[in-house]
Amino acid sequence: MTANLLDFDLEGLAAFCERLGEKRFRATQLFRWIHQKGATDFDQMSDLAKSLREKLKGTACLVALPVMSRHDSADGTIKWLFDVGGGNAVETVFIPEDDRGTLCISSQAGCAVGCRFCSTGHQGFSRNLSTGEIIYQLWFAEHSLRQHMGTQERVISNVVMMGMGEPLQNYSALVPALRVMLDDHGYGLSRRRVTVSTSGVVPMMDRLGEDCPVALAVSLHAPNDALRDDLVPLNRKYPLAELLGACDRYLAHAPRDFITLEYCMLDGVNDQSEQARELVAMVRGHGHRGLSCKINLIPFNPFPVSGLKRSSPANVADFARILQDAGIVTTVRKTRGDDIDAACGQLAGDVVDRTRVAERIARQRSTGLSGIRVVAKEA
Ligand code: SAH
Ligand code: SF4
């Protein structure tokens, strides 16, 4: 069996090197070649002995995901659609800003949570991505953007696990991927620049706090259980009191002293002043001193079958003011890339034209990353 080197965090790669009869520190060199330099050929890895390079050629590869499409938004946002086989596709979005470059990564093909306002949720669940498939999105974006911009400098400064899927329902693949992002020999991102967004998988929030406490965003969307049960079905399993309790516990490990609560603004559904006051009471009333949080209001990005509408800017502003007046730090998310359907919750990737995919894959196989054996997955 050929190992996909993108599946390993540094610890896993060290174990792999040991199995090849090599010293563990070789893994650090190999890891740096792959993630820091974006090497695509074992023969490029000049500080590795020829014998090791030969061994690697026989036992290891780097599995690429074929790019099905790339869309560039007028605002600089770039969206890639990757083929993950079996008629499934996932999306990755790069969002450039003045002081940062954020990559929004997918964790699953589809999603089992089924939130009413989310196009991925409407698609249903197909499968978990592997660690290698999660990391490939970062590897590919970082190194192709560098090449594109003609720079050796780091392009991606922040990662948000806010693409398709519920990251905490793919925990075992997620954590090694986060470790690669954080590792100084990998992407060297600080824990506060990597954000996991969750719809509220309470037990896994606790585990993440123990295993790999990166920044946490919790998708709240409602100020009471009745409404949240309807919008985020997972709430029936982990209701608000439990969710807020998990947020509190996470704070003991979090890289920042607050949790971000995301709230998608749906016209006439969850955007009324009364609901803003209910939200204030809920957050303030939690525990002894209330929950330490910031609230991020996300204007709903409509998609055809949702039957929901975006709140008016006036309603969003009123809602935000009520929270701010109560002393809760509140921001309204700028919508980026909506001209290419790259905005939150518009990541669909459902209609896969198989002929087109097959052609693309054939082309990528022949032009694929040189040297390292790239195994393109079948559509
Ligand atoms: N499953 C995770 C992460 C992916 S969704 C989660 O739910 O948190 C990332 C963010 O996009 C979440 O806050 C989600 O609520 C939001 N979102 C989903 N659909 C949206 C839509 N149509 N418009 C605006 N935001 C949306
Ligand atoms: Fe899944 Fe998040 Fe979409 Fe809900 S919002 S369906 S949890 S991806």
Chain segment 52-74, per-residue pLDDT in tens: 999 999 999 999 999 999 999 99
Cα–chain center distance at 42: 29
Q: Are residues 58 and 72 both part of a single domain?
A: no
- Residue minimizing CA distance to atom 22 of ligand 1: 345
Which residues have any ligand 2 atom within 6 Å of their CB? 111, 113-115, 118, 120-121, 165-166, 199, 219
Most confidently modeled range among 71-75, 103-107, 147-151: 103-107
CATH number for 27: 1.10.150.530
Cα-Cα end-to-end distance for the chain: 21
Q: Are residues 26 and 150 both part of a single domain?
A: no
Q: pLDDT, tens digit, for every residue of 160-191?
A: 999 999 999 999 999 999 999 999 999 999 99
Inform me whether the pLDDT recorded for 25 exceeds 60.
Answer: yes
Inform me whether the pLDDT recorded for 351 exceeds 60.
Answer: no
Q: Are residues 216 and 127 both part of a single domain?
A: yes
Query: How far, in Å, from the CA of 219 to the mean position of ligand 1?
Result: 7
> For position 343, what pLDDT does the model report?
64
Across 241-258, average pLDDT: 96
Cα–chain center distance at 11: 22
Q: How far is CA 216 from CA 42, 88, 167, 188, 246, in A?
A: 37, 27, 11, 18, 11
- The active-site residue out of 22, 61, 91, 104 is 91
Q: Are residues 199 and 297 both part of a single domain?
A: yes
Q: Report if residue 377 sits inside a domain.
A: no
- The active-site residue out of 17, 104, 111, 344 is 344
Instruction: Name the helix (H) or strand (E) containing 78.
Output: strand 78-85
Enclosing domain of residue 78: 65-340
> For position 341, what pLDDT does the model report?
72
Query: How far, in Å, from the CA of 110 to the mean position of ligand 2?
Result: 9
DSSP three-state, residue 119: helix
Across 112-134, average pLDDT: 96
| Residue among 95, 335, 344 to mutate when testing ligand 1 (max atoms within 8 A of CB) | 344
> How many domains is the chain partitioned into structurally?
2
Ligand located closest to 344 CA: 1
Query: Which two three-digit tokens encode residue 31?
Result: 């890891």
**Tokens 């969710």 — which residue?**
243
The residue with greater pLDDT, 344 or 357, is 344
CATH number for 239: 3.20.20.70
Q: Are residues 59 and 123 both part of a single domain?
A: no
Q: Are residues 147 and 197 both part of a single domain?
A: yes
CB 345 within 8 A of CB 303: yes
- Nearest Cα residue to 275 out of 335, 316, 234, 229: 316
Q: Report if residue 367 sits inside a domain.
A: no
Inform me whether the pLDDT recorded for 352 exceeds 90.
Answer: no
Query: How far, in Å, from the CA of 260 to the mean position of ligand 1?
Result: 13
> For position 174, what pLDDT does the model report?
98
Inform me whether the pLDDT recorded for 45 exceeds 80.
Answer: yes
Query: Which two three-digit tokens encode residue 313?
Result: 């800017």
CB atoms within 10 A of CB 181: 27
Across 131-154, average pLDDT: 96
Q: Are residues 172 and 289 both part of a single domain?
A: yes
Query: How far, in Å, from the CA of 151 to the mean position of ligand 2?
Result: 35
